[in-house]
Amino acid sequence: MEKMQKEALQVAKEIMVKFIETGRVSPNNFGEMFPAVYNVVFETICAGSSQPQRESAE
């Protein structure tokens, strides 16, 4: 798996754990929610990596 895919998978898993802990996601709807969360995270990571890096203000 590509590095960005692995990062997106890890972030999506962490988000889903928080959603489960807060009761927003249940085992019944996990299968439909996880792909949606993963896709948003992955697209966000890809969009962020295609933009030039901002230099930090010193």
Domain count, the chain: 1
What does the block give as tokens for 37?
């969360």
pTM: 0.76
The answer to whether position 56 is within a domain reads no
User: DSSP secondary structure string, 22-57?
Assistant: TTS--TTTHHHHHHHHHHHHHHHHHHHHHSPPPPPP
The answer to whether position 50 is within a domain reads no
* Strands annotated E in the chain: none
The answer to whether position 20 is within a domain reads yes
Residue 1: the pLDDT is 61
The answer to whether position 52 is within a domain reads no
Which domain covers residue 11, as residue numbers? 3-45
Low pLDDT (below 70) residues in the chain = 1, 50-58
Residue 42: the pLDDT is 95
The answer to whether position 39 is within a domain reads yes
The answer to whether position 53 is within a domain reads no
The rounded distance, in Å, linking the Cα atoms of 26 and 24 is: 7
